[in-house]
A and B are shown apart, each in its own frame.
Chain A
């Protein structure tokens, strides 16, 4: 009898501790799936993360559902991309009834704060189409911006859970180092030492990575995405939407034009023909078409030229090849390289 009692007490204790440990996890809800991935890397086992959008969905047009509202009801932290991309997040926050994640509370985070935003409009009008007043929101396709996003998330997790501050910092550092390895290769990073990642990041931001490496006879040591992207330097591509501005700038591609004449407005026939002329004139080989947009216009241009249409996924978990952020970037580069070859 005593043994049974002792076993029961032990079971109760273990269950309670397990429950307690579970309760200590911060519950995080993100709008997009890349935010979920980054939060999981930084938060480790101290967080449970749910992404609301389907990763195959157009992030501009997500229909808030009661399920999303309910999932968000008990969230400790709500993370959105911001920059007027996931505007539907406000509907979810309002409908959740969770007072801790409203704008202005520590439980609400716009992940793109402090990211150097491109294409800030000088005129804001609906006449320009689906314009983003705070700049182009597709920042996550530049890995250097992901470093900033990860820092923002880590800082907010540390604020909400100060007892585990060192844990989040450790995970942040590890994630940034891992990104650096993917970006430049581990051999080069090892050669440059502890601050190698920061130095290379700075050189990349300043657009002088290749010349800097060349001047130090380190070009042969470069690996990772930047090595993969070397053949793409200066290559022109066409995209359906202004999705790839950050990606192209980072990896040396040049966006020759978009199929959309104005963001969010399907391409008019006249503009498609202008793109056909442009593709012929410049010898553009690649048309990037996000998976959630119609391929009609891209196929039309391809049929009149030698360009290839690549249907691309842009969020993490959207396809087996993009099951991590790192694999998403690799997948995009490989797709473009293959089409250019």
Chain B
């Protein structure tokens, strides 16, 4: 009798397991096909149905075993022991776990980041109202009292092979009144190791291509990630902007960046360095002058965080290029962030600022060497009032790169409302003082409304704190 019961049990199990394998194969094939088509369709439903059927089948098997147990208990001369049946059940359980493993593998394999590059799109819309006529940095395009699609960015990123990753950020930037320019805002390969160098001393990472140069904080922040409605004046004027601070600004040259950790002078702090070799003559304060010579950039960052609640970052930058023209830029930056872990009331604070000193020597039309040494700075503070709402202030002070006697000052305030980290509305007011302009244009008051959309596979990330 016991052999008969065990044989029946084994037969049922074997038949079911074979059926399972066949169905699992089909399920996996379906999911592979689904992944190839890149979307969820009726095949997904078929796979899920198959998996559910398999689960039901295993549950039915457990029922069979329970039935066998009952039979064996009632049989007068049963010698089927609990151990025999538990061993059988254990065997089936192992099959169930393998089935779960395959379900798990299939579900993970269909994740959207597999093989295809991660894709994220950013749309930044802004409309402004001004008390006077406002021109862009070229002085030829009126930008006051009108809406703009300021930028649309498409970010692609993926591993290239076991040694490198690649990132490409294609940007369509508003060309003030003239339309849009398309440019690779960033396009670089990030090399983490090489076949001849399997380890990375000091955590060395090498970036090759075009990228936002590591001068301070704002320059490595994209327009859609800014905590303000416009770039700081010193960034747009000294580092680079064709159309001014209202549009995308910054210094994104072609070159190579080496980033690594250094022994920290303070026990619990982190000390990092970027050393860059870049194509020169593209910096804001040297742009337009002949050159094309090699430029060198170094950036040091000393930072410390306490329980991931308080973060203090100090940075120093030095840029130099020399040839037909000579340009140097020195900068310092300070950022403090406070974001409590227990965000029961969703409050946080971010504050800081940057200062830049420029030095640009060139030969004028008479053959004389002229040197300009402008400097400028800004400071800001932002407080989070609720899960959705942030408000902040910024003050700018900057000398014109072409004439240090001309100083612009600006105070701006803004309030940001996030539905989620992917959708933001912001209302900002700016008061700009330029005593060196014609009397009617000395002061400009502007109201700027901004809407920012992020969509795609970009991970959930609180931009307003992370950046």
Task: Please give the residue numbers on chain A whose beta carbons come within 8 Å of chain B beta carbons, in ascending order.
Answer: 53-54, 56-58, 60-67, 69-70, 73, 84, 87-88, 90, 94-100, 102-105, 113-117, 120, 122-124, 126, 129-130, 133-135, 195, 198-199, 202, 206, 264-266, 291-295, 311
Question: In this assembly, does B174 line the interface, its C-beta being within 8 Å of a C-beta of chain A?
Answer: no
Nearest first, the 7 A-B pairs at minimum CB distance are A97-B203, A99-B193, A87-B459, A73-B203, A56-B341, A66-B270, A57-B341
What are 28 A-B residue pairs whose CB atoms fall within 8 Å in the complex?
A54-B308, A56-B342, A63-B462, A63-B466, A64-B466, A65-B270, A66-B305, A67-B270, A69-B203, A69-B270, A73-B200, A73-B203, A97-B200, A97-B259, A97-B260, A99-B163, A100-B199, A102-B192, A104-B159, A104-B162, A105-B162, A114-B97, A114-B104, A117-B107, A133-B111, A198-B90, A291-B344, A294-B346
Do B89 and A202 have beta carbons less than 8 Å apart?
yes
Do A265 and B420 have beta carbons less than 8 Å apart?
yes
Q: How far is the CA of A149 from the CA of B425 in the complex (A)?
A: 42
B337 cross-chain contacts in A, Cβ below 8 A: 63
Do B198 and A99 have beta carbons less than 8 Å apart?
yes
Task: Please give me the residue from chain B that is nearest to A129 by CB atom.
Answer: B420
Q: How large is the interface on B (under 10, 10 to 19, 20 to 34, 35 or more residues)?
A: 35 or more
Do A295 and B344 have beta carbons less than 8 Å apart?
yes
Question: In this assembly, does B465 line the interface, its C-beta being within 8 Å of a C-beta of chain A?
Answer: yes
B462 cross-chain contacts in A, Cβ below 8 A: 61, 63
Do A54 and B307 have beta carbons less than 8 Å apart?
yes
Question: In this assembly, does B345 line the interface, its C-beta being within 8 Å of a C-beta of chain A?
Answer: yes
A123 cross-chain contacts in B, Cβ below 8 A: 40
Q: How far is the CA of A67 from the CA of B271 in the complex (A)?
A: 9
Q: Which of these, A57, A61, A98, contacts B203 with CB under 8 Å?
A: A98
Do A65 and B341 have beta carbons less than 8 Å apart?
no
Q: Which of these, A57, A129, A134, contacts B308 with CB under 8 Å?
A: A57
Do A134 and B203 have beta carbons less than 8 Å apart?
no
Do A115 and B203 have beta carbons less than 8 Å apart?
no
Do B305 and A65 have beta carbons less than 8 Å apart?
yes
Q: How far is the CA of A54 from the CA of B163 in the complex (A)?
A: 31
Q: Which of these, B111, B268, B304, B460, contacts A61 with CB under 8 Å?
A: B460
Q: What's the minimum C-beta distance from B94 to chain A, rounded to whole angstroms?
A: 10
A67 cross-chain contacts in B, Cβ below 8 A: 268, 270, 303-305
Q: How far is the CA of A123 from the CA of B40 in the complex (A)?
A: 8
Task: Please give me the residue from chain A that is nearest to B308 by CB atom.
Answer: A54
Do B261 and A65 have beta carbons less than 8 Å apart?
no
Do B204 and A97 have beta carbons less than 8 Å apart?
yes
Main secondary structure of the interface of A (DSSP, over half): loop
Beta-carbon contacts under 8 Å, B246-263 to A: 259-261
Q: How far is the CA of A130 from the CA of B387 in the complex (A)?
A: 15
Additional pairs, 20, CB under 8 Å, beyond known A63-B465, A70-B270, A294-B344: A54-B307, A54-B308, A54-B309, A67-B268, A69-B261, A70-B261, A73-B203, A87-B460, A87-B461, A94-B165, A96-B203, A97-B192, A99-B192, A104-B162, A129-B420, A199-B86, A264-B420, A291-B344, A292-B343, A294-B343
Question: In this assembly, does B93 line the interface, its C-beta being within 8 Å of a C-beta of chain A?
Answer: yes
Question: In this assembly, does B60 line the interface, its C-beta being within 8 Å of a C-beta of chain A?
Answer: no
A90 cross-chain contacts in B, Cβ below 8 A: 459
Do A73 and B159 have beta carbons less than 8 Å apart?
no
Do A114 and B101 have beta carbons less than 8 Å apart?
yes
Question: In this assembly, does B417 line the interface, its C-beta being within 8 Å of a C-beta of chain A?
Answer: no
Of B200, B308, B343, which is in contact with the most chain A CB atoms at under 10 Å from its CB?
Answer: B308
Question: In this assembly, does B100 line the interface, its C-beta being within 8 Å of a C-beta of chain A?
Answer: yes
Q: How far is the CA of A9 from the CA of B87 in the complex (A)?
A: 58
A70 cross-chain contacts in B, Cβ below 8 A: 203, 261, 270, 272
Question: In this assembly, does B205 line the interface, its C-beta being within 8 Å of a C-beta of chain A?
Answer: yes
Question: In this assembly, does B190 line the interface, its C-beta being within 8 Å of a C-beta of chain A?
Answer: yes
Q: How far is the CA of A90 from the CA of B163 in the complex (A)?
A: 16
B465 cross-chain contacts in A, Cβ below 8 A: 63
Beta-carbon contacts under 8 Å, B187-235 to A: 190, 192-193, 198-200, 202-205
Q: Which of these, B48, B111, B308, contacts A65 with CB under 8 Å?
A: B308
B198 cross-chain contacts in A, Cβ below 8 A: 99
Task: Please give the residue numbers on chain B whose beta carbons come within 8 Å of chain A beta carbons, in ascending order.
Answer: 40, 44-45, 48, 62, 86, 89-90, 93, 97, 100-101, 103-104, 107-108, 111-112, 159, 162-163, 165, 190, 192-193, 198-200, 202-205, 259-261, 268, 270, 272, 301, 303-305, 307-309, 311, 313, 337, 339, 341-346, 387-388, 420, 422, 455, 459-462, 465-466
Task: Please give me the residue from chain A that is nearest to B204 by CB atom.
Answer: A97
Task: Please give me the residue from chain B that is nearest to A201 by CB atom.
Answer: B93
Number of A-B contacts (CB under 8 A): 150
Do A291 and B203 have beta carbons less than 8 Å apart?
no
Q: Which of these, A117, A126, A129, A206, contacts B455 with CB under 8 Å?
A: A126
A120 cross-chain contacts in B, Cβ below 8 A: 48, 107
Q: What's the minimum C-beta distance from B266 to chain A, rounded to whole angstroms?
A: 12
Q: How far is the CA of A130 from the CA of B313 in the complex (A)?
A: 30
Do A294 and B387 have beta carbons less than 8 Å apart?
yes
A134 cross-chain contacts in B, Cβ below 8 A: 107-108, 111
Of A97, A122, A134, which is in contact with the most chain B CB atoms at under 10 Å from its CB?
Answer: A97
Q: How far is the CA of A84 from the CA of B156 in the complex (A)?
A: 19
Task: Please give me the residue from chain B that is nearest to A122 by CB atom.
Answer: B48
B40 cross-chain contacts in A, Cβ below 8 A: 122-124
Task: Please give me the residue from chain A that is nearest to B69 by CB atom.
Answer: A215
Task: Please give me the residue from chain A that is nearest to B118 by CB atom.
Answer: A90
Task: Please give me the residue from chain B that is nearest to A114 by CB atom.
Answer: B101
Q: How far is the CA of A58 from the CA of B304 in the complex (A)?
A: 21
Q: How far is the CA of A84 from the CA of B103 in the complex (A)?
A: 17
B304 cross-chain contacts in A, Cβ below 8 A: 67
Do A65 and B101 have beta carbons less than 8 Å apart?
no
A105 cross-chain contacts in B, Cβ below 8 A: 162
Task: Please give me the residue from chain A that is nearest to B161 by CB atom.
Answer: A104
Do B308 and A293 have beta carbons less than 8 Å apart?
no
A115 cross-chain contacts in B, Cβ below 8 A: 104
B108 cross-chain contacts in A, Cβ below 8 A: 113, 134
A122 cross-chain contacts in B, Cβ below 8 A: 40, 44-45, 48
B193 cross-chain contacts in A, Cβ below 8 A: 99
A266 cross-chain contacts in B, Cβ below 8 A: 387-388
Task: Please give me the residue from chain B that is nearest to A203 by CB atom.
Answer: B89
Task: Please give me the residue from chain B that is nearest to A199 by CB atom.
Answer: B86
Q: Which of these, B93, B305, B313, contacts A202 with CB under 8 Å?
A: B93
Q: What's the minimum C-beta distance from A328 to chain B, rounded to whole angstroms?
A: 17
Q: What's the minimum C-beta distance from A316 to chain B, rounded to whole angstroms?
A: 15
Do B270 and A97 have beta carbons less than 8 Å apart?
no
Q: What's the minimum C-beta distance from A167 to chain B, rounded to whole angstroms?
A: 25
Do B339 and A63 have beta carbons less than 8 Å apart?
yes
A98 cross-chain contacts in B, Cβ below 8 A: 192, 200, 203
Do A135 and B308 have beta carbons less than 8 Å apart?
no
Do A88 and B203 have beta carbons less than 8 Å apart?
no
Do A294 and B345 have beta carbons less than 8 Å apart?
yes
